[in-house]
A and B are shown apart, each in its own frame.
Chain A
């Protein structure tokens, strides 16, 4: 971001000052009880008092659920409360993982889970590839000396702030049978296409729409990476009369590489958890053509007649393992970037 951080900071500081007036009153009210606590526990233990609410939230809504999730995945039945559930050992995992050949979801006992896995794999392969590619191209272009750079940057960025539901509805409206895109196809002499009836088209638009929505975020990170490259390097290259192509391959790309790596892994982590926009856009259909892992968990645990919490938990644990591996890679990638 080329400077100019002062003005917006000042603006929102003023905005925050107005908004925080009631908050200031709450703080004032809390001052006396907290002073009493400080006298009781001593200043040495005060950090724990400050950490307490946050740790309580983490404990209740993250750590405990994590353990319960494991426990759930080893039980069956339809009871929600853990104490009432039947212990079934690794039955749920066995059910999920039983396949004749792992290459074909139809031969698996729980084919919907495998279809979800395969769909997610297909989705992230195309989504991450083109997301990173287009983000890189856009960042490279926005890093040039072009007119109206701020405007163009805003154009590519604004969908990031839209809600997934809004994004999906915007595109659904364009892609419907009598929508804008079909009107265009007819006007150039082609036939209408029923996009959401065709599995291939549905997957294409799922990928396309999620790239449309998230590209700005990755472009921004790459742009920050590009702007961190020392201009001296480019000036030196220009002095030597190095061609632009060579400058790109020899200076820009190697120096951007660590950022690119972080972006790829980040996109993978987000991609594996794809749900919102595709769920509203295609509903997972036609059939199960765009149903992903998270939707499988959602359907199994919360929408079916018989809510199968055990199976949903087991699938969550498998998703968690996948994400854990990806996050480890991400941490390694970030370390590469920050330590050069």
Chain B
């Protein structure tokens, strides 16, 4: 339907364009300007994050910042244990030379010529500029993976996302099946009840859910994150609307063949409802991967942190290690980017048709 609309419209524009009536309207100029500015504003910060995540700590505090990750070249000099930093230096006679810095005292830098280590120079620091090369600091990615609990956070997030999505799909599809295939007394009451719970976001019942979770002994366990949000009214609705379109004859035919209700649900209705199930699966994965406030409340020990809570804890530390945080943020981004690349049309169609996210 929407497809044919788009086609006729394209055709109409094509026809008018050929007649030369489609002159450049001010709105065309505005549109393209707006879109280009939009690309800059939406992509720019993310690109900046990715570029920055490859910079060394020294590169990160540089002001004004460089776009590409650059590292200062270090050269080994005879007579010195560690490699020394290389600078372009303007000498007093106006010539330029590449010198290595031994130490810096105030505004004076003590330097040597790497070619001729015996000759020492005293250079005011404003007379020198760093010699840099393009270098990506992969250690920003490697260190957190090796040294911190980052891998643990990653694992926790994956466990929460996968288990929660499976539970969500199972119990919500069962409920949707019960509410769409059968006519029974009390069905409308249940539907009304589900609509009612739709209006109660977790932000309104933080304290009592915390109490329930504590009573069940789930504090600081991943179950505390997985279970409370598993029954989603939106999920029930999405699946029920879809299952209502499944022809009743199919179900009757299966019953004639003596199929049990469970078999009809799992072998007839579920496969037919796959498109709706997939939409709910994508939503659920998105919700769980990104969830923040509730895990923040129930997970208080760093072994059980999810990625989001872990990232927040890192950025809140007194001594913020931005080079690690940026790299970890990029890692957190990656699954989303992959999902988006492959499923973009599907996700957007799901959102547009259900009006939820």
A residues near B (Cβ < 8 Å) are 1-5, 7-9, 11-13, 15-17, 23-24, 27-28, 30-31, 34-35, 38, 43-44, 46-51, 53-55, 57-58, 60-69, 72, 80-82, 137-138, 141, 144-146, 152-166, 169-174, 178-180, 182-183, 186-187, 212, 217, 220-221, 223-224, 227-228, 231, 234-235, 238, 244, 262, 266, 273, 275-276, 280, 283, 294, 297-298, 301-302, 309, 312-313, 316-317, 319-320, 323-324, 327
Contacts and interface: CB of A to CB of B under 8 A. Distances in A.
A65 B209 contact: yes
Q: Which 3 A-B pairs have the closest CB atoms?
A: A3-B3, A50-B178, A65-B208
Given A61-B229, A327-B199, 9 more contacts: A47-B178, A62-B200, A69-B207, A161-B340, A166-B333, A173-B45, A238-B16, A297-B206, A319-B204
B176 to A, nearest CB: 9
A160 B345 contact: no
Interface string B261-280: 11101100010001101100
A31 B262 CA distance: 6
Contacts of B46: 170
Given A38-B261, A146-B32, A159 B42 contact: yes
Interface stretch (B59-67, B114-122, B135-143): B59-67
A47 B311 contact: no
A13 B275 contact: yes
Contact of B49 (A16, A17, A158, A173): A173
Contacts of B43: 155
B221 to A, nearest CB: 15
A81 B207 CA distance: 11
A169 B42 contact: no
B143 to A, nearest CB: 18
A7 B343 CA distance: 10
Interface string B162-175: 00001001111011
B249 to A, nearest CB: 17
Given A3-B3, A47-B182, A275-B203, A163 B289 contact: yes
Contacts of A43: 261
A159 B201 CA distance: 22
A13 B282 CA distance: 12
Nearest to A35: B260
B325 interface: yes
27 contacts: A1-B352, A8-B343, A11-B342, A12-B275, A16-B277, A23-B170, A24-B266, A30-B266, A34-B262, A35-B263, A58-B231, A61-B227, A62-B200, A66-B200, A80-B211, A80-B214, A144-B27, A155-B43, A161-B339, A164-B292, A174-B48, A221-B352, A280-B292, A297-B203, A313-B207, A316-B204, A317-B204
Given A1-B2, A156-B38, A223 B171 contact: no
B315 interface: yes
Contacts, number: 326
Contacts of A170: 45-46, 48-49, 329
A209 B27 CA distance: 27
A323 B349 contact: no
B290 interface: yes
A15 B352 CA distance: 22
Contacts of A187: 64
A155 to B, nearest CB: 5
A287 to B, nearest CB: 17
B297 A302 contact: yes
Given A9-B275, A54-B175, A154-B344, A141 B34 contact: yes
B206 A316 contact: yes
Interface stretch (B4-12, B78-86, B126-134): B4-12
A183 to B, nearest CB: 4
Contacts of A35: 260, 262-263
Q: What is the interface of chain A mostly: helix, strand, loop, or mixed?
A: helix
Contact of A61 (B190, B231, B333): B231
A234 B140 CA distance: 55
Contacts of B9: 145, 231, 234
Given A2-B2, A141-B34, A180-B65, A273 B203 contact: yes
A311 to B, nearest CB: 10
A322 B199 CA distance: 11
B198 to A, nearest CB: 8
Contacts of B228: 61
Nearest to B1: A3
B2 A3 contact: yes
A172 B178 contact: no
Nearest to A163: B290
B184 interface: yes
Contacts of B42: 155-156, 158-159, 212
Interface string B145-176: 00000000000000000000010011110110
B197 interface: yes
Given A141-B35, A155-B39, A316-B206, A183 B275 contact: no
